[in-house]
Chain A
Amino acid sequence: MNFPILSVITFLPFVAGVIILMMPATRKNETRAVALTTAVIDLLLSAWVYIQYLQGHMTGYQFLEQHDWLPQLGISLFFGVDGMSAPLVLLTGIVMFTGVLISWGNDDPHVMSGIQDRPREFFAFLFLLAGGVFGVFVSLDLFMLFFFYEIAVFPMYLLIAIWGWVKTREYAAMKLTLYLFIGSVVALVGALAMYWTNYQSTGILSFNMLELEKAGFSADFQNLWFLPVFLGFAVLGGIWPFHNWSPDGHVAAPTAVSMFHAGVLMKLGAFAALRVGVMLLPEGAKHWAWLIMGFAGVAVVYGAYIAFVQTDLKYMIGFSSVSHMGLVMLGISTLNATGLTGAGVQMFSHGVMTALFFAVTGMIYDRAHTRMIPELGGISKVMPFATIGFIIGGLVSMGMPGFSGFVAEFPIFMGVWQEQWLVAVIGSISIIITAAYIMMNIRKVFFSPMPENLEGHIGDVTVLDKVAIVTLCLFMITIGLFPGVMVPMVSTGVENIMRLLGGA
C-alpha cells in the first residue's frame, strides 16, 4: 500500500488551480464549487495522515516518498512528515477549507461578503499558495523546500494587492513581498553554502535534509551561517525586529488571505527556521540561542503591548499574532524538549485561533464596513454565532486551561524557565496584557450598546460562515480538553530535534 498521499495533498491544489483558471469567468458558482471540493478533499486527506500518524504511534519521518528530480545535483522530490509537521499539514487543510468557505461570496451587490470580484483568479492564486505551503511542510529536500517556499510567497502579493483593503493594499503587498523575498534569498545563500560544504567533506551532492543533518558542519561554519538562515526564514515567522511587514499585510489582506497569512504562512517561517536553521545547524543554534530568545522575548511583550493600544480590530489581531509567534520563537530558542513541544503545539493552536479571529473580523467588517473598535458595538445581538466564536478564540489567546492555547503556552514558559527564568517572568507579562485587550475588546465590540448608525444594517452570518467557525472552534477545544491527541505526537518530532542537538 504505497498511495503517494503527501504528493496528492501537495499537488492537488495546483491541479485544481489550473482547472479553475480554465473555467469561464462567468461561471462563478461552479468555480467556487470546484474550490470547495478540492479543499474538502485536501482537508480529509491531511486529517487522514494525521490520524494514521497518531493511531499508529508512529515516530520519525513517515509516509516517505522519494523520486529523483535532478540526480546530477542531488535534488529529489522527497516528501515525508514527522510529529512536527503532521499537525501543520492538518492546519493547512483546515485553513484552506475554512478560507474557501469564508470567501464564498455572492452575486448580490447589497451584501458585501466573501470575494465577488474575479473569484476564479482568487481561488486559483489561493490554491497556488496552499500548494506551496503544503509543499514546504512535507519537503525533506532543501531545494524543494525553497521551491515551494517561494511559490507560497508570491501569490500573497497578488492576493493582497488585488483583493485587499483599498487604502493600504499596494503598500502592504509590496512591503510584505520584499521582506519575505529578502529573507528567503538570504537563507538560500546559507543553504547553498551548506550544500557545497557538505560536498567538500563527503563528496556527495545532496540537498536531502536527512543527509545534510549528518554532515557535521564545523562550529565556525555553523556559527557563521545560523543567523542568516534562521533569521531569513524567521522573517516570515514575524520575528521582532523584522515583524513590520506582518501587521500591515494582515490588515490589507482580504479575510481568507489574512487567515492563510497569519494562520499558516507565519508557521511556514517558524517551521522552516526550525527545520533548516536549528536542525541542520544545531551548534549554531546553541551559540545564538540567547539572541533568538532575546528577540522572541521582545516580540512577545512588545507585540502584546502594541496590540493593546490598537483601535483597528485587524491591527490588534495582527500585533497579537506577532506576540503569539514570538512565543513560538521563544519555545524554539529554549532548545529543550519542553519548550520545543510547546512551540510545536503553539504553531497549530495559534494557526487555528488567528484564522478564527480574522474570519470573525472579516464577517464584522463585511457587514458594518468598519473595523475601528470605537465605532463598533452590540455585535452580539445580531451575530451571536460569530460572538461565541470570537470569545472562544479570545480564551485560547489568553491561554485559558481547557483550550489549546494553554496546552501550548504552559510548556513554552516551563521550557524558558529552565533556561532563563528572567525571560519567562518578563514574557508572562504578555499573558496579562493579552487578557486585558482581549476582554476589553470583546466587551466593546460585542456587548456595548450598538451605535445608531449601525442599527438595522447588520445581519447575521451565513451558514457557510457558521460551518467555518464551528470547524475552527472544534479543533481548539478538542486539543484543549484532550492534549493527548497532539502533544505526544509533537514530542516524537521534538525527540528527533533533541537528538540532533546532542541532548536527551
Chain B
Amino acid sequence: MFTPLTFASILPEILILTLGILILVYEPFWKEDQRRNAGWLTAGGLLITMLVSLIFGRPGQPTEVFGGMIRFDWLGFFLKMLFLFAGAATALLLMDHEKAGKRGEAYLLLLASLLGMNLMAVSSDLVMLYLSIETASIPLYILSGFLLNDDRSTEAGFKYLLFGTLASTIMLYGFSLVFGFSGTTDLYEIAAKFTAGSVSPLLGFAVLALVLVGLGFKVSVVPFHFWAPDVYQGAPTPVAGYLSTASKAAGFAVILRLFFIAFPAFSSSWTLILAALAAISMTVGNLLALPQTNLKRLLAFSSISHAGYAMIGVVAFSQLGATSVVFYLAAYIATNLLAFGIVMAFQRITGLEEITDYAGLSRRNPLLALMMLAAFLSLAGMPPFGGFVAKVFVFAAGVQTGYTWLVIVGILNSIIGVYYYLNVLKYVYLYRMPDQDEEQHPLPLTRPYTIALVMLVLGVILVGTVFAPFFGWSDAGALVLF
C-alpha cells in the first residue's frame, strides 16, 4: 500500500504540514517582536520544500495513488511548485504587515490553504476534489477577514465566506449529479460513463453549468466575480495577492483536469460556455478597470480580465491550449504577486493605496518604481516580461483551433489593458508629489520585501526571456491530459 512512490507523491504536502507544526510549536516561545520570524521560517521552509521536492519528488509516468484519489503527474507537480513559490513570496510579504505580520496564525493559515491548493492540483476524484477545494478556501476566508479592527477587512472576509460557500454548495450539487449519472466519483471513470449517449445534452449542459459556478468563483470570471474587488481591497494586501494568483491558478488546475479528463464528451458545450465566459470576463474586467482610482481595485478587475485571457487556452481544448494555460499561470503568478507586493511595500510606509498617491514614486524609490514598471508592463503583455510570451502562446492556441474571433476579442482587450496600465505608470514616473519634495519622503524597503520583490521580478523576466524551460514543464504537464 505505502510504497516510496506514495510518499514521493505527497512529499510537498508532508513537508508543508511539518512546517505548520514547527510554527505551532515555536511561535508561543517567541517574544512579541520576534514573531515575525515565523515569516522567515515559512518562506525558507517553503523554498526548501520546493528544492527537496524537485530532487526527490519528481513524478515519472502518471500514476494513481491512494486508491485513485490522487494523480501523481507533471501537471500537478509543476503547479505545486508554482504554489509553493507563491506561498513563499506571500509569507515574505506578510512579514512586515503591521497587524498580520507578527501573528503566527497568519502563516499557519497560509500553509493550510497551500496544502489545499496542492491537493487541488492533483485530485482525481470528486470527493477529494471537493475536500481540497474547501481546505484551500476556508483558511482564505479567515485570512481575508484577519484584521478584526478594520471594517473593510471584516467585510471582505464575510463577503468572501458567503459568496464562497454559496458557490461551493452549488458546485457540490453539480458533483452529486455527476455521481448520480455516472455512478462513480473517479474523474477518469466518469469520462467513460458520463457521455453524450448516456445523458441528454441539455442535462449535461446543466450539470456543467452547476460545476462551473464553483470553479468560476475560484478563478473569478464574470459573472462570478462580484466578490473580487471588495475582497481584494479589504483583505490584507499580501493575502489579496495570494488570492489573485495561487488561488486562481489552483482553480484553473481543477478546470483543466475536470473538463479535459472527465467531460471530454461534452466538449462542444463547455468550450462554448467557457468561450463566452472568457470573452465577457476579459471585456468586463478591462472596462471596469478603466475608471478605478484605487490600485487594489484596479488590480482586482485586471485579474478578472486575466482569468479571461487564460481561459482562451482552456477553450482551445488542445495540448498547446493546456500548455499555454499552465504557462500563463506561471507568468501571471509571478507578475501579479509582484504587483501586489509593490502595493504592500508602498502601503506599509504611506498607508495609501489610491493611484494618485503613487505620484513621484520613481523619485522616492527608483528601484521600486522599476519593479512596478516590470510588473505593469508584464500585465499589459509587453516583452521582455512574462506577460508577453504568455499572451502570445494563449492567442496562438486560440488561432490554431479556430477561435480567431475570441483571440481578436482578447487583442482588443489587451489594448484597453495597455491604456490603464500605462496610466498607472504615468503617476509613478511622470507626476510629482504636491510639494515636489520627494527627497523628504523616502520609501525604504525592508529586507523581506527586497528579497521577495527581487525574486518575483527575476521570475517575471526569466519567464519572459528564457521561456523554453518553463514551456517545457508546462508542456509536460499538459501532456498528461491527453
> Does A33 reach chain B (CB closer than 8 Å)?
no
Q: List A contacts of B422 (CB < 8 A).
A: 157, 174, 177
| Contacting residues of chain A (117-131) with chain B, CB-CB under 8 angstroms | 118, 120-121
Name the segment of B3-11, B53-61, B339-347, B392-400 touching the other chain.
B392-400
> Does A192 reach chain B (CB closer than 8 Å)?
yes
A27 vs chain B, min Cβ distance (A): 13
Q: List B contacts of A193 (CB < 8 A).
A: 399, 404
Q: List B contacts of A25 (CB < 8 A).
A: 366
Q: List B contacts of A147 (CB < 8 A).
A: 383-384, 388-389
Contact indicator A189/B399 (Cβ below 8 Å): yes
A117's nearest neighbour on chain B, judged by CB, is: B363
Contact indicator B426/A161 (Cβ below 8 Å): yes
Contact indicator A158/B429 (Cβ below 8 Å): yes
Contact indicator A178/B475 (Cβ below 8 Å): no
Contact indicator A73/B471 (Cβ below 8 Å): yes
Name the segment of A180-188, A341-349, A386-394, A414-422 touching the other chain.
A180-188
Q: List A contacts of B384 (CB < 8 A).
A: 147, 151
Given contacts A21-B370, A151-B383, contact A185 B415 (CB under 8 A): yes
Question: Pick the contact of B468 from A70, A162, A186 — CB < 8 Å?
Answer: A70
Question: Pick the contact of B430 from A161, A186, A192 — CB < 8 Å?
Answer: A161
Name the segment of B101-109, B135-143, B207-215, B406-414 touching the other chain.
B406-414
Q: List B contacts of A181 (CB < 8 A).
A: 415, 418
A161 to B362, CA, bound (A): 13
Contact indicator B411/A177 (Cβ below 8 Å): no
Q: List A contacts of B415 (CB < 8 A).
A: 178, 181-182, 185
A15 vs chain B, min Cβ distance (A): 13
Contact indicator A150/B399 (Cβ below 8 Å): no
Given contacts A70-B468, A70-B471, A73-B471, contact A189 B429 (CB under 8 A): no
Q: List A contacts of B467 (CB < 8 A).
A: 69-70
| Contacting residues of chain B (282-308) with chain A, CB-CB under 8 angstroms | none
Given contacts A143-B392, A192-B399, A196-B400, contact A150 B429 (CB under 8 A): no
Q: How large is the interface on B (under 10, 10 to 19, 20 to 34, 35 or more residues)?
A: 35 or more
A182's nearest neighbour on chain B, judged by CB, is: B415
Given contacts A158-B429, A178-B415, A182-B415, contact A189 B382 (CB under 8 A): no
A139 vs chain B, min Cβ distance (A): 12
> Does B377 reach chain A (CB closer than 8 Å)?
yes
Could you mark each residue 120-133 of chain B with 1 if its beta carbon is under 8 Å from any beta carbon of chain A, else 0?
00000000000000
> Does A154 reach chain B (CB closer than 8 Å)?
yes
B398's nearest neighbour on chain A, judged by CB, is: A192
A154 to B400, CA, bound (A): 28
| Contacting residues of chain A (74-132) with chain B, CB-CB under 8 angstroms | 118, 120-121
A143's nearest neighbour on chain B, judged by CB, is: B392
Question: Pick the contact of B471 from A72, A120, A161, A185 — CB < 8 Å?
Answer: A72
> Does B180 reach chain A (CB closer than 8 Å)?
no
Could you mark each residue 358-389 of chain B with 1 if its beta carbon is under 8 Å from any beta carbon of chain A, else 0?
00001100100010010001001011100011
Could you mark each residue 15-49 of chain A with 1 if its beta carbon is under 8 Å from any beta carbon of chain B, else 0?
00000010001000000000000000000000000
Question: Pick the contact of A150 from B366, B382, B400, B426 — CB < 8 Å?
Answer: B382
Could you mark each residue 408-448 of chain B with 1 if its beta carbon is under 8 Å from any beta carbon of chain A, else 0?
10010011001100110110011000000000000000000
A174 to B426, CA, bound (A): 10
Contact indicator A146/B392 (Cβ below 8 Å): yes
> Does A195 reach chain B (CB closer than 8 Å)?
yes
A21's nearest neighbour on chain B, judged by CB, is: B370
| Contacting residues of chain A (148-205) with chain B, CB-CB under 8 angstroms | 148, 150-151, 153-154, 157-158, 161-162, 169-170, 174, 177-178, 181-182, 185-186, 188-189, 192-193, 195-196
Q: List B contacts of A196 (CB < 8 A).
A: 396, 399-400
A29 to B472, CA, bound (A): 44
Q: List B contacts of A182 (CB < 8 A).
A: 415
Contact indicator A72/B475 (Cβ below 8 Å): yes
Question: Pick the contact of A178 from B363, B382, B404, B419 — CB < 8 Å?
Answer: B419
A195's nearest neighbour on chain B, judged by CB, is: B396
Question: Pick the contact of A162 from B382, B392, B407, B429 — CB < 8 Å?
Answer: B429
Contact indicator B425/A158 (Cβ below 8 Å): yes
A147 to B382, CA, bound (A): 8
Q: List B contacts of A161 (CB < 8 A).
A: 426, 429-430
B468 vs chain A, min Cβ distance (A): 5
Q: List A contacts of B404 (CB < 8 A).
A: 189, 193
A21 to B430, CA, bound (A): 18
A182 to B400, CA, bound (A): 21
A189 to B471, CA, bound (A): 21
Contact indicator B383/A150 (Cβ below 8 Å): yes
Query: Known pairs A69-B468, A147-B389, A151-B384. 19 more at Cβ < 8 A?
Result: A70-B471, A72-B472, A72-B475, A73-B396, A120-B366, A121-B429, A143-B392, A147-B388, A150-B383, A158-B373, A158-B429, A161-B429, A161-B430, A170-B430, A185-B415, A188-B411, A192-B395, A192-B399, A193-B404
Provide 15 A-B residue pairs closer than 8 Å at the C-beta atoms, listed in order of the A residue: A121-B366, A151-B384, A153-B382, A158-B373, A158-B425, A162-B430, A174-B419, A181-B418, A188-B411, A189-B404, A189-B407, A192-B399, A195-B396, A196-B396, A196-B400
